[in-house]
Structure 1
Amino acid sequence: MCVGVPMRIIEGDEVSALCARDDDSRRVSMLLIGAQEPGTQVLVHIDTAIRVLDAQEARLIDDALRGLEAALRGESFDALFADLIDREPQLPRHLR
């Protein structure tokens, strides 16, 4: 399974950027979204930035990934899915 992860741009141009997430840093292609300012959060899939994320969306994706890691270790993960606990699942707007 391939998963996109949020990463923060450290420096770069319209072709590539050095991005970081936790202890991981790597150079990713920026060809799909163009140059972005340092500090911008982007969704990275197979070493390619595929879209810009706002801070809230980046946090929700990070929480979900950390929740999955906690579940695999047998640890509590409910707090990392707080936005989903007391509501019915909903399709994304474009699928409704």
Structure 2
Amino acid sequence: MESVQAITWTTIDLPGYEIKGISGSKIVTDTCIYDIDSRTWGIIVFPGASVTSIEGIDGDIVVGSYGGLNPAGVFSTHGFIYDGTNWVTYDFPGASKKLDIRH
């Protein structure tokens, strides 16, 4: 007879935030990342942006969009890739909003 292992469930809740992705021990919400192993929350904010929105995670790579008013006073958004240290921005020609990527 096979043995059955007990499963322990843990509720992870940050009220008002939507889970956007899970990869390994990391869970991302709209603007936060939770590390299950260290049980810590972190906030992801693109430098100088008035709005940052996480769309997904793959390993240690977080993707999303950020925005703010440009010099003409128009709100514009851009995509980003963040590895925990470095930010890479991207803009697909003609796109009005940048979302999740996979690699």
TM-score range, shorter chain: under 0.3
Task: Identify, as 1 or 2, the structure richer in strand.
Answer: 2
TM-score, with structure 1 as normaliser: 0.24
TM-score, with structure 2 as normaliser: 0.23
Task: Identify, as 1 or 2, the structure richer in helix.
Answer: 1
Point out the structure with max Rg over C-alpha: 2
